[in-house]
Chain A
Amino acid sequence: QKEVEQNSGPLSVPEGAIASLNCTYSDRGSQSFFWYRQYSGKSPELIMSIYSNGDKEDGRFTAQLNKASQYVSLLIRDSQPSDSATYLCAVKGSNTGKLIFGQGTTLQVKP
């Protein structure tokens, strides 16, 4: 079992729709959870961080964390073609700076 798992996609949604990206992790001691966006040929860009159970909203993005189910998700509302990228779920354990990444989900937003 991989430590962090994501559906590789591609996930295709029409412009203006909600995109839902999911991630599961195996280490129950994980403390910090992140979503990064990566455009082709570029480095990962942090878009959301979440540390406790529940929802966290930032503009069009909402991160959801359920530690009991070991599940993290990212919702992108009003998806735009510029949101087309690979979305990486990443997890940090307790008191460590080591990020463990999923394989990433490719999102395609069609005009």
Chain B
Amino acid sequence: KAGVTQTPRYLIKTRGQQVTLSCSPISGHRSVSWYQQTPGQGLQFLFEYFSETQRNKGNFPGRFSGRQFSNSRSEMNVSTLELGDSALYLCASSLLAYTEAFFGQGTRLTVV
């Protein structure tokens, strides 16, 4: 069974640009959540989607947005990139909201 797939694995962007990250969950999983990991802040929750609906949103500015498609694949978008957005972005999928979450390999974003 294929795991969670995130693309791309690495990105280098310039301040002010925008970026879109993609996540394909484990087949059959309908819950997808996104996290930002930085050395200083640890793993911070961004948002959670279940059956195309955003059910939770973390404490991030509106520049961070996401969506989920009917096939459960999810994307997150960050507009007007700032240096502080440099981080490892992780996607996790769960069969149901409260069950185990499995992470993808992450997308490492560097903003220069």
Q: Interface on A for B, CB 8 Å cutoff?
A: 31-32, 34, 36, 42-46, 49, 88, 90, 92, 94-104
Tell me the minimal C-beta distance from A47 to chain B in angstroms.
10
B31 on the A face (CB < 8 A): yes
Q: Are B104 and A96 in contact (CB under 8 A)?
A: no
Interface string of B29-64 (1 = CB under 8 A from A): 001110100000011010010100001101000000
B100 touches A34 (CB 8 A): yes
In the assembled complex, the Cα of A94 lies from the Cα of B98 at a distance in Å of 7
Q: Is the CB of B97 within 8 A of A45?
A: no
How many angstroms from the CA of A45 to the CA of B104 in the assembled complex?
9
Instruction: Identify which of A43, A44, A99 contacts B33 (C-beta below 8 A).
Output: A99
Instruction: Say what secondary structure dominates the interface of chain B.
Output: strand
Contact present for A99 and B35 (CB under 8 Å): yes
Residue A96 contacts which of B88, B97, B106 (CB distance < 8 angstroms)? B97
Count of chain B residues with Cβ under 8 Å from any Cβ of A?
Answer: 26
User: 13 new A-B pairs (CB below 8 Å) besides A46-B102, A98-B56?
Assistant: A34-B100, A46-B100, A46-B101, A88-B43, A90-B43, A90-B101, A96-B56, A97-B94, A97-B101, A99-B43, A99-B92, A101-B35, A104-B42
Chain A residues near B55 (CB-CB < 8 A): 96-97
Residue of A nearest to B43 (CB): A101
Residues of B contacting A42 in the complex (Cβ-Cβ under 8 angstroms) = 105
A43/B101 in contact, CB under 8 A: no
CB contact list, B20-36 vs A, under 8 A = 31-33, 35
Q: Are A32 and B33 in contact (CB under 8 A)?
A: no
Which 9 A-B residue pairings sit nearest by Cβ, starting from the closest?
A101-B43, A97-B97, A97-B31, A97-B48, A43-B103, A98-B56, A43-B106, A49-B100, A32-B98
With A43-B105, A43-B106, A100-B45 as known contacts, state yes or no: A32 contacts B35, CB within 8 Å: no
Indicate if B99 sits at the interface (CB-CB under 8 A).
yes
Knowing A96-B97, A97-B97, say if A44 contacts B42 (CB, 8 Å).
no
Kindly supply a per-residue 1/0 record for chain B positions 62-92, scoring 1 wherever the CB is within 8 Å of any chain A CB and 0 otherwise: 0000000000000000000000000010101
